[in-house]
Amino acid sequence: MNRLIIIGGSDAGISAALRAREIDPSVEPTIVMADRYPNYSICGLPFYLSGEISEWRSLAHRTKEEIGQAGIRLLMGRHAKAIDAEKKRVLVVDEEGRAGELQYDRLIIATGAESIKPGIRGMDLPGVFLLRWMDDCFAVHQWLTEHKPRSALIVGGGYIGMEMADALSFRGLSVTVVEFAETMLTTVDKPLGEEIAAELERRGVSVAIGVGIESIERDGNGLTVKGSNGFNARADLALVAVGCRPSAQLATGAGIKTGIKGAIKVNQRMETSAADVYAAGDCAETWHHLLKNYTYLPLGTTAHKQGRIAGENAAGGNREFAGSLGTQAVKIFDLVAARTGLRDSEAQEAGFDPLTNQFETWDHKAYYPGAEKMIIRITGDLATRRLLGAQILGHYKSEVSKRIDIFAASLFNDMTVEQLSDLDLSYTPPLSSPWDPVQMAAQDWVRNLK
């Protein structure tokens, strides 16, 4: 039982292979991947396109040689076309169209997700791009290099949209961001989304909210983008970033069950409905640690963890995925927005009786130079005073992501909001206060109880 086939060479697939080798060195992982970029940081693409990272190869977590030295076989440029779960084999086709079969004892599906391609007229025009994989990145980079656009329009105000607004502005382009919802970055509450929109505008980015894009047309050397409410704008480049969906076609073709948003159904051992077949990463459902049920949360951190669990169990281990809280952060110019757990609306939907309180304070003692304001929103349950979630918006030097991690760790340990004040957190005037902003926000939540 040592033939382990993994389909997909990104976060989940590589993590699975490495962990399987740690658990049982006799396991021989073979990774089948359609492209030639194993273990690359897809999250780093905006920073390469901005020019802040000059060498795209530096985005690799590990080189091909390092992966090989770890005892992992890479089959690059190979498309997995079908899975026969009964006969335990995978049909693979190479770049020349030659087909072959790979036998497995255990199989891990880590095919990730794909960008949603909305039904906008003109999506296939030159100068219109999606952004998820390395080849997408190279296409955008080539357009930037060869055509030297002066303006860009981004459809979608989510994480990729925000990072690319920053990235393209950094390159000197005039940027417009169009969002269908009534605020930017809908993964955080509207008051924070409004602050983010204001930051974009301060940085020269045009913001259009409540607009659905309907068509993109060629207009000489550029593009004309039209949408609802009379929206009409011209740009030299258009990037469409409206979310992603799980790449689960291989699984469904093999009769493997899928669930939420078409993601592969798994248990906490990352096992699918087919014997000896596991799934991990953006193609699979996610166990939510707080809600104690399954959802779909495609995040790089989650993919690494799920892949590690799948690899361990495929190699004979017995470990369960502890779950995700949706903890995430994004840098938008000088701001960082972060969240973990449930927002007020999500908590209500889950059956809690939530109170969400917003608190503003300095990131460290105001008398020490460089103090910046932070906005912290805490959601807790009124009946039990249990912490349910938190959101933070602050300067990127204010340790926003590490402070959201305090909330995440507290959520994992089922703490009440009041218990945050008991934590022994570090203090020095250039970095914090005797009561950390996390604790000051918690105390303000308690003061505002009904």
Residues with catalytic roles: 43
Give the separation between CA 248 and CA 209, rounded to whole angstroms: 32
What DSSP string describes 245-314? Answer: EE--HHHHHTT--B-GGGPBP--TT-B-SSTTEEE-STTB-EEETTTTEEE----HHHHHHHHHHHHHHH
Beta strand 328-332 with 335-341 is: antiparallel
Buried b (16+ CB within 10 A) or exposed e, 216-236: beeeeebbbbbbeeebebebb
What DSSP string describes 175-188? Answer: EEEEESSSSS-TTS
> What residue has token string 């929206």?
231
* 197-203 CB contacts, 8 Å cutoff, 24+ apart: 199/332, 199/333, 199/334, 199/335, 200/165, 200/332, 200/333, 203/166, 203/169, 203/333
Q: Which helix (H) or strand (E) segment is 103 a member of?
A: strand 99-103
Buried b (16+ CB within 10 A) or exposed e, 251-285: beebebebbbebbbbbeebbbbbbebbbbbbbbbb
Alpha carbon distances (Å) from 137 to 84, 164, 353 = 33, 11, 44
Give the separation between CA 307 and CA 269, rounded to whole angstroms: 10
Q: Which letter does DSSP use for residue 344 in this model?
A: H
Give the separation between CA 439 and CA 77, rounded to whole angstroms: 51
Q: Which letter does DSSP use for residue 59 in this model?
A: G
- 399: tokens are 């340790």
Give the separation between CA 9 and CA 75, rounded to whole angstroms: 9
